[in-house]
Every structure is written in structure tokens, then in C-alpha cells.
Homo-oligomer: A and B are copies of this chain.
Amino acid sequence: MTNAKVHIALADDHRMFLHALRALLEKEPGIDVVGVAGTGEELLAIAAHKPVDIACMDIGMPAMNGIETTRRLLALRPNIKVIGVSAFSDRQFVLDLLNAGARGYVTKAEAGEELLRAIHTVQLGKTYLCPDVAATVTNALLDNVPRDIATPRITARERQVLQLIAEGHTSVRIAERLHLAASTVEVHRRNIMRKLDLHSVAELTKYAIRNGITTISG
């Protein structure tokens, strides 16, 4: 049992990264990549039919993001250990993912060995955060203590509005598209900014990209 290979599933919407990462992990003797997925749904399907010990997933996927995918995955298979892989290291983002049950987080800026280290660490039942993320999180805990549970989460409607804002539409257009009054859209916009502590369309746009609410290639 101890010298059996660890079964790993990968998920990333960039197929080239997905395939490349598979090649990287397959070089490791103790690792067996049992499936790769381009979306959160595919990852759930893999976990439903194959033995998966560890899932490494991109967080910034469109449609279903990493946090939602993590929740559903753990509801389906509570023993799977989730490692978040992302280009970003938002404090709030990492905390959300850990709250969702993830056991590790590494950024794509780190070396490939960092992911292997994370895999080996969570395999032992521990939690692994790559250095800069760990620093961000501990700073957050030291600075703003009541950040643990007070996770501001936007509603589905707000998310919908945010997506259209990040696509460059005005409030009036968004109202037309959603069959709402323009004033309602502006309230949503205001609430989003208040909840997320963002203060411009530029920041809203970046947040939306980081969280997979919109794609950058729009």
C-alpha cells in the first residue's frame, strides 16, 4: 500500500498546460495520472469513475470555478485531496479555496518541483502552501483577524452583472440584456464593489478574470 502509486487527476482549461503537466508528472515514478479534465464537470466525471487520490486543479476556470468544483468534488469523494493550481495568489481566493476543503495551493509562477512537493505533502495528510501564498495568508491572519469566516461572497445575480461589466457593457445595456431597470443594475454594481472592496471597473474586470467569471480573450 505504501509503495503503490498515488493516483492523480488534473484539471485546467488550458489544454496545453494540462498535457504538459501530465508529461511532467508522468516522469515521476510514484505518480500515476489517471485522468485529465478541461472543465470542472469533466473532473467530477473522472472522480466518479476512476480512483483518484489527489486532484490538482486550476482555479480560474470558466463555467464552474475551482472553489465550486472543490465543493462538489469533496461532496462526491470526501477522501480526495485537492491542490489548487493558479496563476494568481489572491489572499481571499486562497482562503476561500481552503475553506472549501482544499489541502494545497501552488501558483504557476513556481517551479514544477513545487507541485511535486505539494503532492507529496498532502499525500501525508498535511496541508501545503507554496511560500509566497503562505506569506500572504499568514499576513492576512495577522493583519485582519476577523477574515476567517467573513468571506464576502457575491450572489448569482451579482456575478451575472459582474460578468457583463467585465465584458465592457454599460449599466443601461446590462439592464436591457437582463430585462431589469438600469437603477437595479447600478445597485448590483454598487453592492459588488462594496462586498469585494473594489473601486473601479478595472479592478472589477481583473477580479472577474481571476475568478473565471469572464475570459480575458473577450
Residues of A bordering B, CB below 8 Å: 13-24, 26-27, 85, 87-90, 106-115, 165-170, 198-206, 209-210, 216-218
> Do A217 and B87 touch across chains, with their CB atoms under 8 A apart?
yes
A21 to B16, CA, bound (A): 8
> Do A109 and B205 touch across chains, with their CB atoms under 8 A apart?
no
Determine which of B13, B20, B24 lies in contact with A109 in the assembled complex, contact meaning CB atoms within 8 Å.
B13
State the oligomeric state as a number of copies.
2
Determine which of B22, B89, B90, B166 lies in contact with A202 in the assembled complex, contact meaning CB atoms within 8 Å.
B166
A87 to B19, CA, bound (A): 15
> Do A88 and B200 touch across chains, with their CB atoms under 8 A apart?
no
A108 to B58, CA, bound (A): 14
Task: Tell me the minimal C-beta distance from A99 to chain B in angstroms.
Answer: 21
Q: What are 16 A-B pairs at a CB distance below 8 A?
A: A14-B108, A15-B110, A15-B111, A15-B112, A16-B114, A16-B115, A19-B113, A20-B20, A22-B24, A23-B24, A23-B112, A87-B216, A168-B198, A201-B201, A201-B205, A202-B202
Task: Tell me the minimal C-beta distance from A150 to chain B in angstroms.
Answer: 22
Closest chain B residue to A207, Cβ basis: B216
Determine which of B24, B26, B200, B209 lies in contact with A168 in the assembled complex, contact meaning CB atoms within 8 Å.
B200
> Do B16 and A106 touch across chains, with their CB atoms under 8 A apart?
yes
Determine which of B19, B27, B109 lies in contact with A16 in the assembled complex, contact meaning CB atoms within 8 Å.
B109
Given contacts A20-B20, A88-B216, 8 further A-B contacts (CB under 8 A): A19-B24, A19-B111, A20-B23, A23-B26, A168-B203, A202-B205, A203-B218, A205-B205
Q: State whether A202 and B24 are in contact (beta carbons under 8 Å apart), knowing that A109-B16, A216-B210 are contacts in the complex.
A: no
| Chain B residues near A216 (CB-CB < 8 A) | 87-88, 206, 209-210, 216
| Chain B residues near A24 (CB-CB < 8 A) | 19-20, 22-24
